[in-house]
Chains A and B, each alone.
Chain A
Amino acid sequence: MTAALETVDVSCVFQVNQGFMKGSKPLRAVNGVSLKIPKGQVVGLVGESGCGKSTMASILLGLQEPTSGEVLYSGESAGSFDGKDIARRIQPIFQDPYSSLNPTKSIHSIVSLPLRIHNVGDPADWDRKVYDILDLVGLPRRVAQSYPSQLSGGQRQRVAIARALIMRPEVVICDEPTSALDVSVQSQILNLLQDLRQELGLTYLLISHNLAVVEHMADRVAVMYLGRIVEEADADTLFRDPRHPYTKALLGSVLTPDPSLGVPDTHLGTVFPNPIDPPLGCSFHPRCSACMDICSAQTPMPVTEGDHMTECHLYAPQEAVAV
């Protein structure tokens, strides 16, 4: 089965200016990532800020040209599409509904913008389409005449979802869709995303640092660290049997509402490495509690067991370690 969206060994390198007369250095925001998003599934992408999650989102949305590697939409290379084609297939939902909606436009105008850009169907039909999609995301029709400032955070996020869905895309990229919202609103939005997925057969890439949300929503999970995917497995396996020390640390820092447990100690240290000057060998080794000699010398190769991929020397086959 071809994946709805796939990246093959995608890298994205930015040249970062080092200051006057000092030239520039490469920053590998995304470093050889191969990720498959099968049709109809929810793939979770987790990691700390600065690990390249959002650059991945921009690449998938066609907003950022990868330096090398290839993005495939339903098995076809991105080169054969222009921006509008990609936008019809893939739509984003961003983190902050306060800044992702134009404050000077009415909700009707915001939601109908994709229709006007792609100029699909009969303009007389557009009103009906807007009202249909507002019904679908659970907003009263009267908000069509309102402006973003008149809506609450949860309502705004629903508007953002309506705008993303009005062209009936195949894939929706949710970049931290609920982290700016209150818990009671977060659960409403997550429920809505679940319902829409079933109703419209959507495929989601869910980018989040909230592992509780990812565990609840995702079928597959990829853990990203410093531009690499260090562990990938289906959600059940990953949360039951995390292998990479970084995944373990991330899972350990989830604060479940259980008063009998204290604040976990992750032993991660404070320093997120500088991505311009990443550590040699395994990029996680300075923060790793299970660091070995080999980790600072040699970059680990991906080890796949079933469909559980881990990139860590702890799980390297024995003969490779002996060499």
Chain B
Amino acid sequence: MSKDVILDVRNLKVDIPVSAGMLHPVRGISFSVARGETLCIVGESGCGKSLTSLALMGLLPKTATRTADKLDFLGQDIRDLKERQMAALRGVNMAMIFQEPMTSLNPAYTIGNQLIEVYRRHIDPGKAEARERAIFLLEKVGISAAASRLSQYPHQLSGGLRQRVMIAMALMCGPDVIIADEPTTALDVTIQAQILHLLADLQKEFQMGMILITHDLGIVARVADKVQVMYAGSTVEEGPCQAVFDSPLHPYTSGLLRCIPVPGKTQRGSRLGSVPGIVPNLVGDLHGCMFRNRCDHAEAACEALAGDATQLSDGHAFTCRMTPDEAAQAARQTAREVA
């Protein structure tokens, strides 16, 4: 590998026993993230995006089991690490930003307290140095009067500011990879643009790898280097951002792209495309293509066969029984139907 890969995941699976049987929310997904690279994982709710990130962080619920053929982080196999060793990695080498800045900060402690705690626990117990780093990072994420903010409580800050504090907290120990799970979903559009701008800048500056989990294709298009489209726990399409958006091949990807109104392109008041049906139940034995019940191009063959990933040049791949030419034609056809 030419690039400096920091996280390499092969065939990651998560299984959770539920009363009806075994739930398979993540069913064998693979990806890698290099330094300075942004990977976007996109999909509907319930497709396993968030569990994937929790599996990486080792934060799955106790009943869940995680298996993988490979789970290398900074060249180290982290599959069998003890909780104590995992805790040493978390926060220092890999950090996470959650969706809800309202609920992920502790309301009973000041911002400063929460920022400094991470650093003192992992890096250096000295208070002064931690405080200096907290002020430095708060200024980096665009918070004015940083020193006086340290003594404020989360409720005194707006949503956008809280999310900035969360980002500063994730950066406290200088992580190598940052996992952002829907970081802007709870925010206004104007603030969303600012936060994404900020994340992209910081990522370049500190040369971090970033995994951004979102359901918003607009965000994906603007920030991603690589895209991974998930459906029902597995990857249906992946590739460089430009390739996936220019020529989506899997019927699910092209379906999603047809769902969103695009100012200036979609005719006002026209019918939007839709992906009919709902996400399948992932309990028990699963076989065949999971998208077949919602797919316009499903055939009898889809029942039995999941189809292997078809690799195109430049890393673009999709998992479908159709050949790339058939898939491209199918995507064009549905695009015409909507228009």
Residues of A bordering B, CB below 8 Å? 48-49, 152-154, 182-188, 190-191, 194, 209-213, 215-217, 235-236, 239, 249-266, 268, 270-272
Contact = CB atoms under 8 A, between A and B. Distances in A.
Contacts of A262: 200, 222-223
A110 B242 CA distance: 46
B263 A257 contact: no
A3 B208 CA distance: 55
B274 A263 contact: no
A255 B193 CA distance: 8
Given A212-B262, A255-B196, A270-B143, 11 more contacts: A154-B278, A184-B256, A186-B260, A187-B260, A212-B260, A216-B263, A255-B192, A256-B221, A259-B245, A261-B221, A272-B160
A216 B261 contact: yes
B100 interface: no
Closest 10 interchain pairs by CB? A255-B218, A216-B261, A187-B259, A187-B272, A184-B275, A253-B193, A257-B221, A182-B44, A48-B188, A259-B221
A186 B262 contact: no
A260 B158 contact: no
A257 B246 CA distance: 10
Nearest to B189: A253
Contacts of B161: 270
B217 interface: yes
A263 B201 CA distance: 10
A266 B196 CA distance: 12
5 contacts: A182-B215, A186-B260, A212-B261, A216-B268, A250-B190
A211 B266 CA distance: 13
B337 to A, nearest CB: 14
A266 B190 contact: yes
Nearest to B185: A179
B277 to A, nearest CB: 9
Contacts of B259: 183-184, 186-187
Nearest to A212: B261
Interface of B: 44-45, 142-143, 158-161, 164, 188-194, 196-197, 200, 215-224, 241-242, 245-246, 255-266, 268-269, 271-276, 278
Contact of B221 (A255, A266, A271): A255
Nearest to B143: A270
Given A256-B262, A263-B222, A263-B223, A249 B190 contact: yes
A272 B164 CA distance: 14
Nearest to B44: A182
Nearest to B277: A184
Contacts of B224: 259
Given A187-B274, A250-B190, A270-B142, A257 B260 contact: yes
Contacts of B269: 194, 216-217
A23 to B, nearest CB: 20
B221 A49 contact: no
B190 A191 contact: no
A211 B276 CA distance: 24
A185 B276 CA distance: 8
B188 A49 contact: yes
B190 A257 contact: no
Given A183-B256, A209-B188, A257-B220, A235 B274 contact: no
Contacts of B45: 153, 182
A83 to B, nearest CB: 32
Contacts of A48: 188-191
Contacts of A264: 193, 197
Contacts of A261: 221-222
A205 to B, nearest CB: 17
A249 B222 CA distance: 17
Contact of A263 (B158, B193, B215, B255): B193
Contact of A257 (B193, B245, B273): B245
A268 B190 contact: yes
Nearest to B268: A216
A184 B274 contact: yes
Given A191-B274, A216-B266, A265-B197, A183 B260 contact: yes
A216 B196 CA distance: 25
Contacts of B274: 184, 187-188, 191
A241 to B, nearest CB: 13
Given A183-B44, A255-B193, A212 B222 contact: no
A258 B260 CA distance: 12
A270 B245 contact: no
Contact of B189 (A191, A211, A239, A272): A211
A198 B246 CA distance: 34
B193 A152 contact: no
B339 to A, nearest CB: 14
Contact of A254 (B164, B263, B265): B263
A143 B223 CA distance: 41
Contacts of B220: 257
Nearest to B267: A216
B203 to A, nearest CB: 12
B263 to A, nearest CB: 5
A188 B259 CA distance: 8
A128 B237 CA distance: 46
A183 B215 contact: yes
B19 to A, nearest CB: 16
A183 B188 contact: no
Contacts of B275: 184
Contact of A256 (B241, B258, B263): B263
A148 to B, nearest CB: 16
Contacts of B266: 216
